[in-house]
């Protein structure tokens, strides 16, 4: 329990570094950023997300949201029709009409996001001006905008765009304020609370989250703000925070016991937490994570895993599978590789791991078929077709909707990968 | 602009995908931005298809807009041809590509591929999914059915031959309707020439003209193509929809007439169990039950007739989201003495359901949720549907077996007659009172009482002696929960909360812990984590 903590040293990084990086162009089987709405609207409980787009956008959200669409959801689509395109109706007037009607229907809404889509971007509908105009008209409701279009964003980048739109709106922390810790990226409430307790045990008291659970409670930011990214897909949000004087703490991502320890360690180091305090705050969690991981290690050790690109979580997940569960990595696809934010993760990947940034779908499927991996992590459009070809798959979207970060979820995360293999072994028909 | 939470239909290119995915040897190149590939999972997940739809997307991005998206489209068409070697291709644009105004048809033509390449014009800002499917099928038939020619009279001795038109991928029960209709045609002595689009290749579409007539199963997708075939090759096509016993008998009579055969072998055959079931005394309670029907035009219309004429319900609401068939639905609604509801806004449908106060709702996935919210029994009779309505079992809607399925589907959500009788007789008994609701919707009252029982069992003293088994609530020696731990437990999703609670308590009992703390909760989680 009191064993020394693994610290990432320069020597370690050198020994494990040197991934085999490829870039690929072609057909991409990925979601657009609009999909982020499906989990973001649950996190910010008084926000509404209005997509300005086509029937396709509405259909996508409906397909991605599944049954959630019916529980008075806090998202909708303003569908552009031919009258808007032909200039018969003034698109801005139409938008104002739709938004006014919406706010009348939902007086509980405090923050409204106008979410740009491919059609709204291509016709150059200026949603940022619309947001400004509507903010004035609808005060105290705040109206912001960001793009979730497929031409600009891939899947989780929708969250990045949304949070980056929030950053300029955050209150300014007083210049003389003591350093505070900001955790960036939507996490499940239960995970946030676990992290809060650990930080508190370390003696870091002022910890806030972006996004906050309510629009009126967004964290302040300033020169004293140190922030930890909880998700690997937050490039623009990080840049916006930097512009406000905040400092990013370089860290691996809190997936698995090792990742969580490394992530917490970055905060501990920045806030001058003594080694003994850190060990005391994390020992129980680490031990529990070890206990929970052990049975999965038996099932996953030596298994060959192939990742199709989806969320940018692929590199940290691959690192977790390889180092904590003993899996072998065939190929790690990612839609976008932010080498700065992922430096610690890349250093931890086994030397020579093939990492593919971007996608050429048919070519990648050919490589996957030729490699016959034991487990393929991919989207729902590919999962059943690959299963039908005899390959075990783990559908990747679940990794975004399930609480997977932190010590207490390490076992659950391993279980997500182990379950398809266990199932394949169980079925006799 | 239209404010939309739920759409009954996708955009028209989804309709084109339903036709392409239904067929073999056909490939669709869709000029579309990154992200539009989401549509694949409708086919691979909801319909559980074992292969990707035969669709290549250009998946252009912002950086491509600055360059040459037209070139990207041409490259994609050439690569798709080289890889898949289809017999024919369809090319078109999704909503965003429609705005950037590359010309998929012209660009594909410039490649001069050695196969037919059929351009699709699907106006995404005016039309919807079913129209897209219909237009795509019509364009394919027009391009591939061959030069118009007068119909050849049937050679003496040859069995009559028909085409079956309309079934597609992602069609509500299309797979099993097809089996049922083939069975009926076979019993009449009629051969099937081509089924399309489902299972047909482009070459098969070239053989459509060999048939004597066409059977249109789903007018939403096939009427336009059937009208073309009538004009080009003189093939008449059926109007009757074989839904319900009456619908099936009308269909059989019409088909037999077109084929010049005797319908008696089928009409006098065993038929459906529906008439007897509906006459049996247990069904008496169904009389004049108020029913609200909403769906695509074909199913709404056919099933409203079944409800009124074959089950003795009173139709108190009838509507469709298929604007193309509004006239037919209005005429049918008039027969029931009501006004039709033609809308694609589910809030309008919800308002109409509230106003009509039906005892049973027959509709789509959406009406299922509306009915659930209102506490009204409901059955699904039309697309859009979710994964459970692409069942593994044989479950046609059409033909005599379809009528059997419909009887069960429409009656099961209601309480069976005996059950309803008992409810009336034992109104004051704890098991049967108004509060329990219809049997299939139950759970609220029951869940509340078991939750209460759990609360009763909880505050047992930590130092209590060995449990004494009583007849009434069993006392279990369990450590109390610290408020903090109890609070944490509530954050766990409800469907696994019970398990987490019992595991933690078992863990605490085994270790004789005096209090369940946060640490205990997570220690137990780690211990039991599989």
- Find the radius of gyration of the CA atoms of chain A: 22
Rounded Cα distance between A127 and A136, Å, is 14
Contact B1 A95 (CB under 8 A): yes
B159 — pLDDT class (breaks 50, 70, 90): very high
Of B295 and B500, which is predicted with more confidence?
B295
Predicted local distance difference test score (pLDDT) of residue A91: 87
Which of the residue ranges A187-191, A294-298, B3-7, B137-141 would you say has the lowest mean pLDDT? B3-7
Contact A55 B527 (CB under 8 A): no
Distance (Å) of CA B399 to CA A162, A198, B85, B182, B464 = 52, 65, 38, 10, 67
Q: List pLDDT tens digits, range A35-55.
A: 999 999 989 999 999 999 999
Q: Which residues of A touch B40 (CB under 8 A)?
A: 29, 380-382
Which of the residue ranges B15-29, B50-64, B288-302, B499-513 would you say has the lowest mean pLDDT? B499-513
Predicted local distance difference test score (pLDDT) of residue A18: 87
Contact A27 B124 (CB under 8 A): no
Predicted local distance difference test score (pLDDT) of residue B447: 39
The dihedral formed by the CA atoms of B427, B429, B433 and B437, expressed in degrees to the nearest 10: -130
Task: Point out the residue among B1, B126, B366 whose CB comes nearest to the CB of A98.
Answer: B1
Predicted local distance difference test score (pLDDT) of residue B477: 72
Q: Which residues of B touch A158 (CB under 8 A)?
A: none
Question: Is residue A256 less than 8 Å (CB to CB) from chain B?
Answer: no
Predicted local distance difference test score (pLDDT) of residue B530: 52
Predicted local distance difference test score (pLDDT) of residue A68: 65
Q: List pLDDT tens digits, range B170-208.
A: 999 999 999 999 999 999 999 999 999 999 999 999 999
Contact A27 B57 (CB under 8 A): yes
Give helix then strand counts, H and E, for chain A: 18, 14
- In Å, how far is B390's CA from the nearest CA of chain A? 15
Rounded Cα distance between B475 and B473, Å, is 6
Question: Is residue A280 less than 8 Å (CB to CB) from chain B?
Answer: no
* pLDDT over threshold 60, residue B469: no
Q: Is B434 a catalytic residue?
A: no
Which of the residue ranges A202-211, A388-397, B299-308, B416-425 would you say has the lowest mean pLDDT? B416-425
Mean pLDDT (chain B, rounded) = 89
Of B244 and B64, which is predicted with more confidence?
B244
Task: Point out the residue among B5, B33, B526 whose CB comes nearest to the CB of A288.
Answer: B526
Predicted local distance difference test score (pLDDT) of residue B435: 54
| Range among A2-6, A100-104, A238-242 with highest mean pLDDT value | A238-242
Q: Which residues of B touch A23 (CB under 8 A)?
A: none
Contact B35 A149 (CB under 8 A): yes
Contact B62, A152 (CB under 8 A): yes
Kindly state the percentage of chain B with pLDDT values over 70.
Answer: 88
Predicted local distance difference test score (pLDDT) of residue B430: 53
Task: Point out the residue among B3, B11, B51 whose CB comes nearest to the CB of A76.
Answer: B3
Q: Which residues of A touch B82 (CB under 8 A)?
A: none
B372 — pLDDT class (breaks 50, 70, 90): confident
- In Å, how far is B446's CA from the nearest CA of chain A? 23
Q: List pLDDT tens digits, range A225-279.
A: 999 999 999 999 999 999 999 999 999 999 999 999 999 999 999 999 999 999 9
- In Å, how far is A19's CA from the nearest CA of chain B? 27
- In Å, how far is A360's CA from the nearest CA of chain B? 10
Kindly state the percentage of chain B with pLDDT values over 90.
Answer: 76
B497 — pLDDT class (breaks 50, 70, 90): confident
List phi, psi (to 5°) of B117.
-120, 115
* pLDDT over threshold 50, residue B441: no
Q: List pLDDT tens digits, range B10-68.
A: 999 999 999 999 999 999 999 999 999 999 999 999 999 999 999 999 999 998 987 78
Contact A154 B34 (CB under 8 A): yes
- In Å, how far is B305's CA from the nearest CA of chain A? 29
Size of interface A-B (CB pairs under 8 A): 206
Measured between CA atoms, the residue of chain A closest to residue B488 is: A190
Q: Which residues of B touch A63 (CB under 8 A)?
A: 38-39, 41-42
DSSP B150: P
* pLDDT over threshold 90, residue A143: yes
B373 — pLDDT class (breaks 50, 70, 90): confident
Predicted local distance difference test score (pLDDT) of residue A3: 43
**Continuous H helices in B23-117:** 40-41, 62-65, 69-84, 95-100, 104-111
Question: Is residue A191 less than 8 Å (CB to CB) from chain B?
Answer: no
Which of the residue ranges A15-24, B39-48, B103-112, B121-130 would you say has the lowest mean pLDDT? A15-24
Q: Which string of DSSP letters, residue by residue, matches A191-210?
A: HHHHHHHHHHHHT---EEEE
Contact A384 B44 (CB under 8 A): yes
Which of the residue ranges A165-169, B210-214, B332-336, B411-415 would you say has the lowest mean pLDDT? B411-415
Residues 6+ apart with CB under 8 A from A69: A61, A62, B5, B6
Q: Which of residues 373-402 of A touch B (CB under 8 A)?
A: 379-385, 387-388
State the DSSP H helix or E strand holding residue A261, giving kind and residue range, or none if neither: helix A256-270
B422 — pLDDT class (breaks 50, 70, 90): low
- Complex confidence, ipTM: 0.92
Which of the residue ranges A323-337, B135-149, B365-379 would you say has the lowest mean pLDDT? B365-379
Average the pLDDT over B238-255 and give the result.
98
Distance (Å) of CA B221 to CA B16, B130, B171, B293, B474 = 10, 6, 10, 21, 61
What sign does the dihedral B27-B29-B34-B37 (CA atoms) show? negative
Predicted local distance difference test score (pLDDT) of residue B403: 98
Rounded Cα distance between B103 and A331, Å, is 37
* pLDDT over threshold 60, residue B123: yes
Of A10 and A50, which is predicted with more confidence?
A50
Mean pLDDT (chain A, rounded) = 93
Measured between CA atoms, the residue of chain A closest to residue B51 is: A385
Q: Which residues of B touch A154 (CB under 8 A)?
A: 34-35
Task: Point out the residue among B11, B51, B100 whose CB comes nearest to the CB of A56.
Answer: B11
In this structure, chain B runs to a length of: 530
B465 — pLDDT class (breaks 50, 70, 90): very low
Contact A32 B35 (CB under 8 A): yes
What sign does the dihedral A141-A145-A150-A155 (CA atoms) show? negative
- Find the radius of gyration of the CA atoms of chain B: 29
Which of the residue ranges B398-402, B446-450, B499-503 would you say has the lowest mean pLDDT? B446-450
Which of the residue ranges A334-338, A389-393, B446-450, B517-521 would you say has the lowest mean pLDDT? B446-450
A17 — pLDDT class (breaks 50, 70, 90): low
Residue B381, phi-psi category: left (phi > 0), alpha (psi -120 to 50), beta (remainder): alpha
Measured between CA atoms, the residue of chain B closest to residue A188 is: B491
* pLDDT over threshold 80, residue A163: yes
- In Å, how far is A63's CA from the nearest CA of chain B? 8
Kindly state the percentage of chain A with pLDDT values over 70.
Answer: 94
Q: Which residues of B touch A72 (CB under 8 A)?
A: none
Contact A150 B35 (CB under 8 A): yes
Given the residues B40, B103, B210, B282, the one annotated as active site: B282
Q: Which residues of B touch A33 (CB under 8 A)?
A: 35
Q: Which residues of B touch A291 (CB under 8 A)?
A: 526-527, 529
Structure tokens at A203: 């003696």
* pLDDT over threshold 70, residue B424: no
- In Å, how far is B332's CA from the nearest CA of chain A? 29
* pLDDT over threshold 90, residue B495: no
Predicted local distance difference test score (pLDDT) of residue A2: 43
Residues 6+ apart with CB under 8 A from B129: B9, B10, B11, B12, B14, B15, B18
Average the pLDDT over A400-413 and give the result.
96
Contact A52 B1 (CB under 8 A): yes
Contact B41 A63 (CB under 8 A): yes
């Amino acid at each position: 329990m009191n064993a020394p903590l693994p610290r990432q040293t320069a020597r370690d990084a050198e020994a494990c570094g040197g991934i085999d990086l490829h870039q690929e162009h072609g057909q991409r089987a990925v979601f657009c950023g609009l999909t982020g709405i499906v989990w973001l609207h649950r996190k910010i409980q008084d926000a509404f997300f209005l997509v300005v787009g086509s029937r396709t956008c509405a259909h996508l959200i409906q397909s991605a949201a599944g049954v959630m669409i019916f529980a008075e959801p806090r998202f909708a689509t303003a569908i552009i029709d031919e009258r808007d395109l032909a200039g018969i109706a003034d698109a801005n007037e139409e938008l104002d009409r739709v938004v006014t009607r919406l706010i009348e229907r939902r007086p509980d809404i405090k923050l409204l996001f106008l979410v740009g889509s491919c059609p709204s971007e291509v016709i150059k509908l200026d949603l940022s001006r619309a947001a400004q105009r509507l903010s004035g008209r609808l005060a105290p409701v705040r109206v912001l905008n960001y793009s979730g279009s497929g031409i600009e964003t891939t899947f989780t980048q929708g969250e990045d765009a949304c949070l980056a739109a929030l950053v300029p709106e955050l209150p300014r922390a007083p210049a003389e304020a003591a350093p505070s810790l900001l955790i960036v990226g939507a996490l499940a409430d239960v995970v946030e609370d676990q992290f809060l307790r650990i930080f508190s045990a370390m003696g870091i008291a002022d910890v806030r989250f972006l996004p906050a659970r309510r629009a009126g409670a967004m964290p302040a930011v300033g020169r004293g703000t140190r922030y930890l990214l909880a998700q690997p897909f937050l490039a623009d949000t990080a840049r916006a925070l930097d512009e406000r004087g905040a400092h990013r703490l370089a860290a691996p991502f809190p997936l698995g016991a090792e990742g969580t320890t490394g992530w917490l360690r970055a905060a501990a180091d920045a806030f001058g937490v003594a080694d003994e305090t850190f060990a005391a705050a994390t020992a129980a969690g680490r031990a529990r994570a070890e206990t929970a991981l052990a049975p999965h290690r038996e099932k996953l050790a030596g298994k060959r895993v192939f990742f199709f690109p989806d969320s940018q979580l692929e590199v940290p997940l691959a690192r977790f599978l390889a180092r904590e569960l003993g899996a072998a990595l065939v190929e790690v696809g990612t839609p976008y590789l932010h080498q700065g934010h992922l430096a610690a993760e890349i250093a931890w990947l086994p030397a020579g791991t093939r990492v593919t940034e971007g996608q050429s779908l048919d070519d990648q499927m050919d490589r996957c078929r030729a490699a016959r991996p034991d487990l393929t992590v991919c989207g729902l459009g590919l999962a059943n077709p690959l299963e039908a070809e005899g390959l075990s798959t783990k559908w990747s979207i679940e990794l975004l909707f399930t609480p997977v970060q932190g010590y207490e979820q390490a076992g659950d995360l391993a279980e997500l990968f182990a379950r398809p293999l266990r199932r394949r072994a169980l079925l006799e028909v | 602009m239209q404010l939309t939470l739920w759409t009954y239909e996708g955009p028209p290119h989804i309709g084109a995908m339903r036709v392409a995915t239904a067929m073999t040897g056909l490939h669709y190149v869709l000029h579309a931005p990154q992200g539009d590939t989401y549509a694949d999972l409708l086919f691979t997940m909801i319909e559980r298809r074992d292969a990707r739809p035969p669709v290549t997307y250009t998946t252009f991005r912002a950086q491509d807009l600055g360059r040459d998206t037209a070139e990207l489209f041409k490259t994609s068409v050439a690569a798709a041809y080289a890889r898949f070697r289809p017999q024919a291709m369809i090319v078109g644009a999704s909503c965003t590509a429609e705005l950037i105004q590359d010309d998929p048809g012209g660009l594909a033509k410039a490649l001069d591929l050695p196969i037919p390449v059929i351009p699709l014009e699907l106006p995404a800002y005016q039309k919807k999914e079913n129209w897209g499917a219909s237009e795509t099928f019509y364009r394919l038939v027009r391009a591939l059915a061959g030069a118009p020619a007068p119909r050849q009279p049937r050679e003496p001795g040859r069995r009559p031959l028909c085409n079956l038109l309309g079934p597609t991928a992602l069609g509500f029960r299309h797979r099993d309707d097809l089996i049922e209709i083939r069975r009926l045609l076979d019993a009449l002595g009629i051969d099937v020439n081509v089924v399309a689009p489902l299972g047909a290749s482009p070459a098969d579409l070239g053989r459509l003209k060999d048939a004597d007539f066409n059977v249109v199963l789903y007018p939403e997708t096939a009427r336009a193509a059937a009208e073309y075939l009538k004009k080009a090759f003189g093939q008449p096509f059926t109007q009757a929809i074989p839904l319900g016993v009456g619908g099936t008998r009308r269909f059989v009579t019409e088909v037999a007439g077109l084929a010049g055969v005797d319908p008696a072998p089928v009409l006098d055959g065993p038929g459906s169990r529906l008439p007897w079931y509906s006459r049996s005394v247990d069904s008496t309670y169904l009389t004049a039950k108020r029913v609200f029907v909403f769906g695509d035009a074909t199913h709404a219309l056919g099933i409203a007739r079944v409800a009124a004429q074959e089950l003795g319900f009173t139709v108190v609401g009838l509507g469709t989201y298929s604007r193309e068939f509004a006239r037919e639905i209005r005429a049918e609604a008039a027969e029931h003495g009501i006004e039709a509801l033609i809308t694609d806004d589910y809030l309008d449908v919800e308002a109409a359901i509230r106003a009509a106060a039906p005892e049973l709702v027959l509709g789509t996935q959406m009406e299922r949720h509306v009915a659930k919210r209102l506490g009204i029994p409901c059955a699904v009779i039309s697309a859009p549907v979710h994964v459970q309505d692409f069942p593994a079992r044989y479950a046609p809607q059409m033909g005599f077996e379809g009528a059997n399925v419909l009887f069960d589907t429409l009656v099961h959500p209601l309480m069976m007659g005996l059950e309803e009788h008992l409810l009336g007789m034992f109104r004051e008994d704890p098991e049967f009172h108004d509060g329990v609701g219809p049997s299939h919707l139950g759970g609220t009252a029951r869940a509340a009482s078991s939750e209460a029982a759990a609360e009763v069992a909880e505050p047992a003293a930590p130092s209590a002696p060995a449990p004494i088994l009583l007849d009434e609530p069993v006392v279990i020696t369990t450590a109390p929960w610290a408020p903090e731990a109890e609070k944490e437990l509530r954050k766990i999703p409800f469907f696994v909360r019970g398990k987490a609670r019992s595991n933690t308590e078992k863990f605490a009992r085994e270790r004789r812990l005096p209090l369940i703390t946060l640490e205990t909760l997570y220690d137990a989680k780690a211990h039991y984590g599989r």
